[in-house]
Structure 1
Amino acid sequence: MIVFNETIKIDETIHQEWLAWMKEVHLPNVMATGKFTEHRVCRLLHDDEDGGVTYAIQYYSPDMETFQQYQQEHAAQLQRSHMERYKDRYVAFRTLMEMV
């Protein structure tokens, strides 16, 4: 099982709207690709002195081949829609892991 983790720190003033958009629009679009079997959204519990709110979103893919298909066929468009909507209001990094 491959776990694709996106850690996103979003501006505190818009994080509730962002979370609603993620749950109602973005996450369903990612899952509609058929490349992930499930996802989870977690909020980091630490206080951020910079005023942002940090979330970790994990997507579970059955194997590396399926994940690579997602990367090649869908990732750029989905990431672009997020970037265009929230430009300069977030920072993000991605991590790819394997369950052991």
Structure 2
Amino acid sequence: MLIYNTTYQVEEGQEDNFLIWIKEFYIPEVGKSGALSAPRIVRVLSHREEGSTCYSLQFEVESSGVLHRWHLDQGAKLNEELVKVFKDKVVGFPTLMEVIE
């Protein structure tokens, strides 16, 4: 199993709006495809930069091929929507991880 993680750096003052958007729009939209499952949002406590908070959004995914298809079909559009809503106040970077145990 793989974990698809996106770490978001959220500008101070945007945290509530970001979390509402992630919970009420992003996660439900991702769930429609069935490709990614078990969403989890966590606050990153290390690597804090002044003026921002970091969050990690994680999903389980069966394979890198499934993730690639999801990104082409849905992920790129959702990223565009994130930029449209938050502009440069939220920046994200993805990481693909493999569960060992």
Instruction: Tell me, yes or no, whether TM beats 0.5.
Output: yes
* Residue matched to 1:58: 58
When the two structures are superposed, what TM-score results if normalisation uses the length of structure 2?
0.90
1:67 aligns with 2:64: no
* Residue matched to 1:12: 12
Query: In structure 1, how many angstroms separate the alpha carbons of the residues matched to 2:2 and 2:59?
Result: 8
Consecutive unaligned residues of structure 2, counting only runs of 5 or more, are none
When the two structures are superposed, what TM-score results if normalisation uses the length of structure 1?
0.90
Question: Kindly tell me: are residues 98 and 88 of structure 1, through their superposed partners in 2, closer, same or farther at Cα, counting changes over 3 Å?
Answer: same
* Residue matched to 2:48: 48
Consecutive unaligned residues of structure 1, counting only runs of 5 or more, are none
Confirm or deny: 8 A CA contact 1:31 1:38 kept in the other structure.
no
* Amino acid corresponding to residue 44 of structure 2 in structure 1: L
Number of equivalent positions: 100
Confirm or deny: 8 A CA contact 1:5 1:96 kept in the other structure.
yes
Question: Kindly tell me: are residues 48 and 65 of structure 1, through their superposed partners in 2, closer, same or farther at Cα, counting changes over 3 Å?
Answer: closer
Query: In structure 2, how many angstroms separate the alpha carbons of the residues matched to 1:65 and 1:93?
Result: 19
* Residue matched to 1:83: 83
- Runs of 4 or more consecutive aligned structure 1 residues displaced over 6 Å after TM superposition: none
Question: Kindly tell me: are residues 64 and 47 of structure 1, through their superposed partners in 2, closer, same or farther at Cα, counting changes over 3 Å?
Answer: closer
* Amino acid corresponding to residue 5 of structure 2 in structure 1: N
1:31 aligns with 2:27: no
Task: Give the fraction of aligned pairs with identical amino acids, expressed as a percent.
Answer: 28
Confirm or deny: 8 A CA contact 1:2 1:67 kept in the other structure.
no
1:55 positional shift: 0.1
Confirm or deny: 8 A CA contact 1:42 1:55 kept in the other structure.
yes
Query: In structure 2, how many angstroms separate the alpha carbons of the residues matched to 1:74 and 1:18?
Result: 19
Bigger Cα displacement from structure 2, 4-13 vs 66-75? 66-75
